[in-house]
Structure 1
Amino acid sequence: MVNAPHSGSELRFPVVCVVASAGGRGALVELLRHLPTRDTHLSLVLIYDGGPEEGPLFELAAQNSPLPVTELRPAARLLPGCVQVLPRHVQVTLAGGIVEITPRGEGGPSSPADVFLRSLASELGERAIGVALSGAGSDGALGLKDVKAEGGVTFAEDPRTAERPALPRSAIAAGGVDFILSVEEIAAGLARMGRPGYTLAPSLAQGPSLGADPDLGKLFGLLRASTGVDFSHYKKSTLKRRIQRRMTLHRLATLQEYLDHLQADPAEVEELYQDLLIRVTAFFRDPGAFAALKTHVFPVLMHRRPPDSPVRIWVPGCSTGEEVYSLAISLLEFLEADAEDHLIQIFGTDLSEAAIHWARDGIYVESISIDVSPSRLRRFFVRVQDGFQVSKSVRDLCIFSRHNAAVDPPLSKLDLISCRNLMIYLEPSLQRRLLHTFHQSLKPTGFLLLGSSESIGAMPDRFGVVDRTHRIFCKRAAPEATYPPAAGASDLSSEPAAASERPSAAVGLGMETVRREADALVIARYTPAGVVVDEDMQILQFRGKTGPYLEPAPGDASLHLFRMARPGLLLGLREAVDASRRSGAMARRRQIKLKQGDRLRSVDIEVWPLKAQLARGRCFLVLFTEPAATAPEQGDLDAARSDPARQLELVQLRRELESTREYLQSIIDELEATNEELQCVNEELLANNDELRQANEALDAEREGLRSPLEELTAADGALPRGDKARRFTDSALRSLGAPARAGRELAVATDTMPAVFEVLCHPILLLDGELRVRAVTRRYCELFMISLRDIEGRPLSTIEASWNTPPLEQRLRDVLHRSAALVDFRFEALIAHAGRKTLSLSAFRLETGPGELPALLLVFDDRTGADKDESAPPGLQRAHRTGSV
Structure 2
Amino acid sequence: MPDDTDDGVDPDLEQLLAFIRDARGFDFTGYKRSSLARRVRKRMHDVGIAEYLDYRDLLETSADEFGFLFNTILINVTSFFRDTESWSYLQQEIIPELLGSAEADQEIRIWSAGCSSGEEAYSLAIMFAQALGIEECARRVKIYGTDVDEEALREARTGAYSEKALEALPEDLREDLRELYFEQSGSRLVFRSDLRRRVIFGRHDITRDAPISRLHLLVCRNTLMYFNVEAQSQIIDRFHFALRPEGYLFLGKAEMLLSDGERFDIVSMRQRVFRRRAGRAEPPHQPNPLKLTAPTGGERRDAARKRQLRDLVLETAPNAMIALDLDGAITQVNSQARAQFGLTSQDVGRPLRDLEVSYRPTELRSLIEQAHSERRTVRVNGVERRSSDQDVQYLDIIVQPLAADDGMVVGSSVAFVDTTTLTRLQLEVKRNREDLETAYEELQSTNEELETTNEELQSSIEELETTNEELQSTNEELETTNEELQSGNEELETMNEEIRIRSTELDEARTFLEGVLASVAAGVVVLDGELRVRSWNRGAEELWGLRSDEVQRQPFFQLDFGLPTDALVEVVQRCLTSGRRTDPVDLIAVNRRGRRIRCSVICSPLDSQAEGVVLLMEDLQEAGEQD
Please report the TM-score for the alignment, with normalisation by the length of structure 2: 0.44
* Structure with bigger RCO (C-alpha 8 Å, 6+ apart): 2
Higher share in helix: 2
Please report the TM-score for the alignment, with normalisation by the length of structure 1: 0.32
Structure index of larger Rg? 2
